[in-house]
Amino acid sequence: MTEQSIRPYLGRVCFVTIGATAAFDSLIRAVFEDKFVRALRSAGFSDMIIQYGANGKKLFDQLSREYEARPPVSPFCINGFHFNTKGLGAEMRAAKGKGHKAESRGIVISHAGSGSVLDALRVGVPVIVVPNPELLDDHQTQLAEALAKQDYVVHGKLDDMTGALREIDVLMWRLKDWPPVNSGVHRHAQGVEGIADEEVGYLDGSKE
């Protein structure tokens, strides 16, 4: 459970990002749940990298200790870090994996800040978008729903992350042709940024 360094991975990689500013403790807790970790391992994941934000280290360390005290899920490694000022491209590319085989492709689990979501989609990695209910407005939910409706992402729910994991494996096959085929001529031309702008106008206020 150390600060993350990019290295070769044995299997699929799950990268979790909550952004640089707003806390998202409930997402960090959700991905540490035993049911979810075991679902990742069963799906061929070997590593989970968690970007836990400015104030998340204490919680991450606590949950790491609790995870290590459980019966082991082996081989499976969880690492975390605060934030990378150079961006999260390296972690997202690690999650993307190499080649187009489903067994080598990882995922990104992201808060619904438009910047983080669009960065992941530009890299070409499947994304589970989880709105942060701790924020006062509902803009993140609007963004997640708009992009999920067009088959760009899976709209993840904190109380059913294993369900989102099942959905993302199905979505991977539809992401081979980019953008999704149901997006229409106009939407095909404008891409995901245009859809986000059209549907919610980047109203979420968090582009990290």
Domain 12-200 has CATH 3.40.50.920: no
pLDDT tens readout for residues 24-78: 999 999 999 999 999 999 999 999 999 999 999 999 999 999 999 988 777 899 9
- Alpha carbons within 13 A on the beta-carbon side of 177: 6
Closest CA to 130 of 18, 47, 23, 32: 18
**141's tokens:** 């939910």
pLDDT at 19 over 70: yes
Q: What is the pLDDT of residue 182?
A: 52
Residue located via tokens 């983080």 = 116
Buried b (16+ CB within 10 A) or exposed e, 94-104: bbbbeeeeeee
Report pLDDT for 72.
79
> For residues 20 and 54, is the Cβ–Cβ distance under 8 A?
yes
pLDDT digits (tens, 9 = 90+) for 96-117: 987 666 667 899 999 999 899 9
Residue 101 confidence (pLDDT): 63
Residue of 96, 10, 7, 23 whose CA lies nearest to 60? 23
